[in-house]
Each structure stands twice: as C-alpha cells, then as structure tokens.
Amino acid sequence: MKNILIIGGAGYIGRQIVNLLNKKKYKIFVIDNLSTTKKNYLNKKINFFKVSILNKNKLKKLFKKYHFNTVIHLAAKCVVSESEKYPQKYYATNVIGTKNIIECSKKYRVQNFIFSSSCSVFSNKTKIVKENSSKNPISYYGKTKLIAEKLIKKKFNKSNIKYIILRYFNVVGADKKNKIGEIGNKDRLFNNISKKIIGNEKNINIYGGDYKTNDGTCIRDYIHVYDLANIHIKCLEKIKKIKKSIDLNCSYGKGYSVLEIAKTFQKLFNKKIKISFRKRRIGDMKEIVASNKKLNKFINWTPKFNNLNKMVTSTFTWNRYLEKIL
C-alpha cells in the first residue's frame, strides 16, 4: 500500500479528494494548519497532522518517517482581493511554503507530485486560454502561484520526480451527498448569492458593471468541486505511466457572466434580487475561459456537473444545509 500525502487535505477541495481516495488502496496522510477548517471534518481513520507548511523542520520529520510515494499539494492562500492587501502573507504561504515542500519531496525521494495552481497565472489579454497561453498575472495571488509553478519545474525537471500542475478555474458546489462543501468564504460569488437568498436579503453587489462584455460584467469558467476532485484521482492513476510531466487546465471550457449567474439563482429559486453595481475590484480579470482539450485527452474525462443549473443548485443546497448545522 502506497503512502500518499495531501497537504491542505482538510480544506474545501482536499476533503473531497480524501473522500474519493478512501475508496482506493492508499494509506492517506493529511497535513493542514486548520486556518480555514477543522480536524473533525475529516474521517477519523485518516492520519492527520496539524502542521504549517512554513515549519520546515516538522515537514522534514514527517517526510523522513513516512516515506511518501506521492504528494498532492493543495495548501495555499487563495482570495484574490485579500492578496492585494496582504502580499507578504501570500508570498510566505504560496511561495516559501511550496519551496519547503519541494525540498522535502526531493530529499526524501517522493516519486509523484500533483500541484494545485490557478487560472490566475494567465494574462488578462487572452479570452480562451490554453496551457501554453501567455502568463502575466494581474493579481498578487496569481503572481505567487506562477512563481510556485516555476519553482516546481526548475527543481523537479532535474530529478526523478514526475509532476502534474493542475490550474483550477473557479470552483463551486459540494459533494453529491451535500456533506462536504466550502465553509467560511463569503467572497465567492455562488456562496454569496446563496447566503443572501437563504437569509431573504434582496441586495446583491456586483463588482464592475462596465467591462467590455455582453452584459458589462466579468465572465468566468467554473468547475464543480466533485469533478475537480475526480480529476485528481484520475491524474493520480495516470501519473505512474507518464514519461513527461504536464500542465493541465481544470474547467468545463464554458464562460458565464456574473449577471447571468445571479439571474440563474433568481430563476431557479423564484427570488427577486436587486443588483447593485460597485466599483471594480483590484486583480479581477474581465474574462477568462479555458480550453480543456488537453485535460480531456489526458484522462478521458466525463464530468458530472458541467451545467450551470446543477452548479447553482449544488451550491445553494450546501449553503442551506450549513444554515441548519452552524
């Protein structure tokens, strides 16, 4: 049985991956600093360690003791607007923390490495982005993820470690049983609108109504968290067979505007929403949609939730469940 380490495995996406991995023949270890989650959200059978990725000495001890075959590195600070206010914190976690993990992986002979990056690494000039599209981030968050990508490539290209870089587009929803979802991040559009409707609030703020798009609002490509977690499982199975490391865009390859999403919530749940347009936020892109052809070819992927109504319903149902238990 192979030892697999999931760094940030108690978080929103990490718990989904752990849940799917429980059905496979791996011995699962999770590291998380619990800054945005709780240990009791994980299965009690999981080998859990509360460790910051900035604590290099503790990381070394764990890597030395458990001889991890594979590392899935999810841990990061990931709120674009927050990164502009606290750049040093974002650099520390997303760059220095990743550097620590890279060094431990090399020293203790990890064989496979999967890294969660972001669509924020791309420039603001290309509407449909391929894996090799221009990288010129406009947010500080995007800059830290691009630096981390470059570190991985520089350090691992001269080693025997095979890596896959997964660039997440906008992640939404909860697992199929609505037992695992995102907690505490009100900045995300789907969560924000869900909470407003559940709380019978009518006012929804949209940041930027003057972009050069069809309805003046930003356009984003989304992916449901269950489908994203499943991509990791498929990549985990595939990485053993590849000869060359690879970058992959993780999305459905279809863009939706902020206004379109708000109207979909309104229609599905029969709630009138009053939309207020606010000033653009620093770091927000006008439009970004991925080409996912490379991903589809690599893992022969069949997503379950690639439909706006499904994504909206899943997110809303999860937030309604949260209202009852918190």
Q: Are residues 186 and 88 in the same domain?
A: no
Annotate 140-169 with b (16+ C-beta within 10 A) or e (fewer): bbbbbbbbbbebbeebbeeeebbbbbbbbb
Query: What mean pLDDT do residues 264-272 have?
Result: 92
At 186, is the pLDDT very low, low, confident or very high (cuts 50, 70, 90)? Answer: low
Containing structural domain, residue 48: 2-171+222-250
How confident is the prediction for the chain on average, in pLDDT? 92
> What was the pLDDT predicted at 323?
83
Where residue 159 sits, what CATH number does that domain have? 3.40.50.720
Query: What mean pLDDT do residues 211-240 have?
Result: 95
Q: Are residues 161 and 186 in the same domain?
A: no
Q: Are residues 117 and 211 in the same domain?
A: no
pLDDT digits (tens, 9 = 90+) for 56-88: 999 999 999 999 999 999 999 988 889 999 999
Checking if the pLDDT of 271 tops 90, the result is no
Q: Please say whether the beta carbons of 7 and 101 come within 8 A.
A: yes
Checking if the pLDDT of 283 tops 90, the result is no
Share of the chain above pLDDT 70, in %: 97
Q: Are residues 98 and 57 in the same domain?
A: yes
Checking if the pLDDT of 254 tops 90, the result is yes
> What was the pLDDT predicted at 322?
85
Classify 184 in phi/psi space as left (phi over 0), alpha (psi -120 to 50) or beta. left
DSSP code per residue over 57-110:
HHHHHHHHHH--SEEEE------HHHHHH-HHHHHIIIIIHHHHHHHHHHHTT-
Checking if the pLDDT of 204 tops 90, the result is no
> What was the pLDDT predicted at 26?
87
Locus of tokens 């789907």 = 190
Q: Are residues 7 and 139 in the same domain?
A: yes
Residue 272's CB is within 10 A of a number of other CB atoms, namely 7
Query: What mean pLDDT do residues 12-27 have?
Result: 90
Strand 255-257 to strand 219-224: parallel, antiparallel, or no bridges (unpaired)? Answer: antiparallel
The token pair at 325 is 């238990």
Q: Are residues 230 and 260 in the same domain?
A: no
Q: Please say whether the beta carbons of 243 and 280 come within 8 A.
A: no
> What was the pLDDT predicted at 1?
63
Q: Is the dihedral of CA 167, 110, 230, 77 positive or negative?
A: negative
Q: Are residues 178 and 237 in the same domain?
A: no
pLDDT digits (tens, 9 = 90+) for 87-97: 999 999 999 99
pLDDT digits (tens, 9 = 90+) for 97-110: 999 999 999 999 99
Checking if the pLDDT of 273 tops 90, the result is no
Checking if the pLDDT of 24 tops 90, the result is no
Checking if the pLDDT of 39 tops 80, the result is no
Q: Are residues 103 and 141 in the same domain?
A: yes
DSSP category for residue 109: T
> What was the pLDDT predicted at 179?
75
Checking if the pLDDT of 41 tops 80, the result is no
> What was the pLDDT predicted at 8?
95
Checking if the pLDDT of 125 tops 90, the result is no
Closest by Cα among 68, 76, 29, 70 to 52: 76
User: Which of 200, 232, 250 delimits the end of a domain?
Assistant: 250
Q: Are residues 227 and 292 in the same domain?
A: no
Give the separation between CA 321 and CA 301, rounded to whole angstroms: 29
> What was the pLDDT predicted at 199?
86
Q: Are residues 70 and 134 in the same domain?
A: yes
Number of domains in the chain: 2
With H, G, I as helix, E, B as strand and everything else as coil, classify residue 278: strand
Residue 227's CB is within 10 A of a number of other CB atoms, namely 21
Q: Please say whether the beta carbons of 252 and 306 come within 8 A.
A: yes
Q: Are residues 123 and 66 in the same domain?
A: yes
Q: Measured between alpha carbons, how far is residue 167 from residues 115, 223, 274, 295 in Å?
A: 8, 11, 34, 11
Q: Are residues 98 and 226 in the same domain?
A: yes
The token pair at 113 is 């490495």
Where residue 217 sits, what CATH number does that domain have? 3.90.25.10
The residues that are catalytic are 141
